[in-house]
Chain A
Amino acid sequence: GAVVSQHPSRVICKSGTSVKIECRSLDFQATTMFWYRQFPKQSLMLMATSNEGSKATYEQGVEKDKFLINHASLTLSTLTVTSAHPEDSSFYICSADREGTYEQYFGPGTRLTVT
């Protein structure tokens, strides 16, 4: 149990376009979902925390207008990278907090390449 999926696993887009990444908790409800970014050979950097039905909380230095997060249900959160640029190329990972616990389950990640 406690599976988190991400879609797509890989995406290549052109500079200036927008890309949406989905994060789903498949067999549990997640009141809170987290979005991370990871650069090569570095640890995860938290971008934002999203709670179902409310606005996301962004970490310092993360542009909320560029990285739009929507958490419309207890099983789905989306991250939209708007007007993507090559420097947005990275590995994006989501995680979900199982309701009532402090244990996080991670998705398999999405590799974004902006050309």
Chain B
Amino acid sequence: KQEVTQIPAALSVPEGENLVLNCSFTDSAIYNLQWFRQDPGKGLTSLLLIQSSQREQTSGRLNASLDKSSGRSTLYIAASQPGDSATYLCAVPDYKLSFGAGTTVTVRA
């Protein structure tokens, strides 16, 4: 059974600082890994999807890396802004999508 862990559970940084969010998974035989953002009371927005054959994926200020052998992925958010405040979830597909508990980010103006 795939288990996904996210550290830290919460993070508070001043505006402009870079964010580093960690995700680990127990079964390295994954098809891909997705990072999502969830705002309070809203659904999930897909941020990045990394295929198992890829080592990283970039979109704007976001960069996600994947190390299958060690069962880790890291989401980097450069030059954080207050609008980046949200909960960030990583997930890997098994027969279902296994989610981490999320990292709640607060960016202080």
Contact = CB atoms under 8 A, between A and B. Distances in A.
B42 interface: yes
A46 B97 CA distance: 8
Contact of A103 (B45, B49, B96): B49
Contacts of B96: 34, 46, 49
Interface stretch (A13-21, A80-88, A105-113): A105-113
Contact of B89 (A43, A46, A95, A109): A43
Interface in A20-53: 34, 42-44, 46, 49
Interface residues of B, number: 21
A101 B39 CA distance: 26
A49 B97 CA distance: 10
Contacts of A6: 43
B97 A34 contact: yes
Interface of B: 31-32, 34, 36, 41-46, 49, 89, 91, 93, 95-97, 99-102
